[in-house]
Amino acid sequence: MPENEKAPRPRHLGDDDRKLHTVDARTLRAIAHPLRIRLLNALREFGPATASKLGERLGESSGATSYHLRQLADSGLVEDAPELGKGRERWWRAVHEGAIFESADFLAHTDPEVRGAIGVVMHEVATTHAQELNTWLGTMSEWPQEWRQSSDMSDFKVRLTPELARELSAKLHAVVESYRDAVPEDTEGSAVVRTHLHTFPRPSE
């Protein structure tokens, strides 16, 4: 395997337990399309669905979702869920619960197609994060007071070296991981909580 095709370094804990997929250059090329990323996210968050149901959720035609689901299936990222279908109805599910990758590895890749692909993926992730936050801001008044008080939207500015920035991210990841199994799924009053982490340098001027 060429040096640039090696799997990127994992940055999360407990990968095997949560069925996380380590993205390589081939997989990256397959998912480097905004709709495919949205399809994967929808299947991972909401569970199995048909192309039609996904089209309704994402505001796309069933023809478009069906085509891109087949492309994702060819790359081993989604699969049929035949036990859910009736007649000619075809259900799809995500093969993995999530994905991990080291964006810096792909940005330094010798193949310009791979460098372009990681740009597409990262911008789509950033767009998704912004949409999720805006959805929360638009609906937070509908949530109980205790949930409104528990939400957070903070930003910090600290002077770091690249090594310390990586250390900071790793420690924050570890804190989140320590809460992953803290609350059973059927716990009354619980909800899935989204936490976004963005760490990046800013110009001095």
Domains by residue range for the chain, with CATH: 3-144 (1.10.10.10)
**Distance between CA 6 and CA 3 in Å, rounded?**
6
3-state secondary structure of 78: strand
- Those residues with Cβ within 8 angstroms of residue 88's Cβ, 6 or more apart along the chain or in another chain: none
- Nearest CA to 25 out of 45, 5, 44 is that of 5
Residue 17: what pLDDT? 41
State the virtual CA torsion across 10, 13, 17, 21 in degrees, nearest 10.
Answer: -20
Asked if residue 117 lies in contact with residue 29, where contact means CB atoms within 8 angstroms, the answer is: yes
Tens digits of pLDDT across the chain (205 residues): 333 333 333 333 344 444 777 888 888 988 899 999 999 999 998 999 999 999 999 999 999 999 999 999 998 899 998 888 777 789 999 998 888 888 888 888 888 988 999 999 999 999 999 999 999 999 999 999 999 999 999 999 999 999 999 999 999 999 998 998 899 989 999 999 999 999 999 988 6
Return the amino acid letter for 127.
Answer: T
Q: Which H helix or E strand runs over 7?
A: none
DSSP states of 12-64? SS-TTTTTEEEP-HHHHHHH-SHHHHHHHHHHHHH--EEHHHHHHHHT--HHH
Residue 152, classed as helix, strand or coil, is coil
pTM, two decimal places = 0.76
